[in-house]
Amino acid sequence: MSRPLDIAILELSLEQRSGTALPGLAMERVLRERGHRARRVGPPAGLWERLRAEERRSARSWLRRATGRPPLDALDALARHLAAMLRAERLDVVIARGIEVGCVFLHDVPGFKILDWPNIQYVEAYSSSESDLSRVDALFRRERAVLEASDLVISPGQHLTRFTEATVRVDGLVDKLVTVALGCEPTSHTAHFSAAPRMVYAGSYYPIQDPYLLSRLTALAPFPMDCYGPQQPPDAHLPGRLNYRGFAPDSAFLANYQVGVITLSRDRLREASPATKLAYYFAHGLPVLFPWWMKEGHDFPACAVPYDEATFAARALSLVRPGCWEEMSRSALQVGLNCTWEKTLTPLVSALELRLHANIIENHGEDQTLS
């Protein structure tokens, strides 16, 4: 065993309740179990929101314009704050979770720099409605700089890795890219067959999850579909109301359902992106219905079934037939057991320890290596 590493896992917010927080929590736990000193850190509560508000104000400030000063750049201000915070500590590794906090690598930061990159920000902006290509390009240039400054880049799924390799032109990126799949927590709460089945959606309600599609599916579903998530979704504009049940602090509630549902927008990034909820549905023994354009879903034909709006109801009914459901649920549980965070994070831990070892030898000589 090498000496424990001091690892900071940098988050944009330590309070977030969505699935985005789960990989960071899992990294902290698994790295601690491997003997390292890992801890999640982030900016003070409310700082990011204050900087964003200041950015909007400064973009309209006549005083700034009159004095020729550019508007405040919230990401840059946040990065400077975080860099100062990290420099005050003795760190071997900084794992920045997301491009927003990854901007810290554009400043002088100690340690081995790992960017956890679940979302290609400029492609997300590209996929957004009424996007402007110049703005997308500005985001790309910043993202490229962060990627160039990172020592290792984590992609959360094989399909996204392939998409990244084909789409993102950044020198040296392919050599830094490591796929670390999303995982789940083992659980004893597993679903049971029911003659009165129910479906569940657990997640956020941003455009990328396509609440409109979720609303359509709620109307089309042949049996009840409940929704959970960190915040009440705005749904007055949707063609039908969602059966929002609130936020659950853990995932045990999934065992009360028979089918897990995934929705996501139809664009090139989301087609290739993995879903955090998929592994959690499997861990609770839920067969899953996923939109046919989601590539990851097709990797699990024994427990996940593709749908479109026209086929959704029929596919849902076919999943809950006696015999069929039990078989798919068993397959789902098996997949869940094979993708616990302990297993999925192994490439990160191995790459981190190997590369760090080599890095320290290169920089400080054999006597300073992990002993």
Partner 1 sequence: MARRVIPGAEFAAAEKERFALRRRLARRWTGAPALPQTWEIVAERVSPWVRGLKPDLVLARGPRAALAALPGDKTRFAVDLEDVATLRLALRWYVDGPDLEATSRREAAVLERAAVVAVPHEDVGQLLHEAFPSLAGIADRVVVVPDGMTRGPQRAVARDGAVVCLHPVTHGDDPLLLAALQSRLERPLRRIGSPGPQVSFLPSPPPEFGADEAVSFGLVTRLADRLSRLCGRRVVSLLEYGIPVLAPRWLAIDPALEPAVARYEEASFEADFAAALARFDALRDAAEAAQRSWNSTLDRFLTRLGA
Q: Name the site residues for partner 1 (rule: CB under 8 A).
A: 56, 60, 122-134, 136-137, 140-141, 166-169, 206-207, 211-212, 216, 233-234, 236-237, 239-240, 265-268, 293
At 362, list the tokens.
């290169």
- Of 266 and 364, the one with the shorter C-beta distance to partner 1 is 266
DSSP H or E run through 227: strand 225-228
CB of 238 to partner 1, least distance (A): 8
The residue (of 204 and 329) whose beta carbon lies closer to partner 1 is: 204
- Token look-up 């929704």 returns 227
d(CA 288, CA 168) in angstroms, rounded, equals 31
Position 368: which residue type? Q
Q: Which is nearer to partner 1, 118 or 183 (CB)?
A: 118
> Distance (Å, rounded) from C-alpha 163 to C-alpha 166?
5
Q: Taking the complex as a whole, how short is the minimal distance between the CB of residue 152 and partner 1, in angstroms? A: 22
Beta carbon nearer to partner 1, 129 or 188: 129
* Sheet of 112-116, strand order: 37-41, 6-10, 93-97, 112-116, 152-155, 177-179
Q: How far is the CB of 128 from partner 1 (least distance, A)?
A: 4
- Tokens at 8, concatenated: 């900071």
In the complex, what is the shortest distance from the CB of residue 240 to partner 1, in angstroms, rounded to a whole number?
Answer: 7
Q: How far is the CB of 81 from partner 1 (least distance, A)?
A: 22
Tokens coding 165? 């390799």
**Would the CA dihedral through 241, 242, 245, 248 be positive or negative?**
negative
* Closer residue to partner 1 (CB): 134 or 188: 134
**Considering the complex, what minimum distance in angstroms separates the CB of residue 62 from partner 1?**
11
Please, are residues 304 and 319 in contact by the beta-carbon 8 Å criterion? no
| Beta strand residue intervals within 64-202, DSSP E | 93-97, 112-116, 152-155, 177-179, 199-202
* Cα–Cα distance for residue pair 74/48, rounded to 1 Å: 8
Smallest gap from Cβ 12 to partner 1, in A, equals: 14
Secondary-structure percent of the chain, ordered helix, strand, coil, rounded to 5: 45, 15, 40
- Rounded least distance, CB 274 to partner 1, Å: 19
- With respect to partner 1, which residue has the nearer C-beta, 110 or 240? 240
Q: Is 323 left (phi over 0), alpha (psi -120 to 50) or beta?
A: left
Comparing CB distances to partner 1, the nearer of 124 and 226 is 124
Tokens standing for 51? 């900087």
| Closer Cβ to partner 1, 97 or 295, answer by number | 295
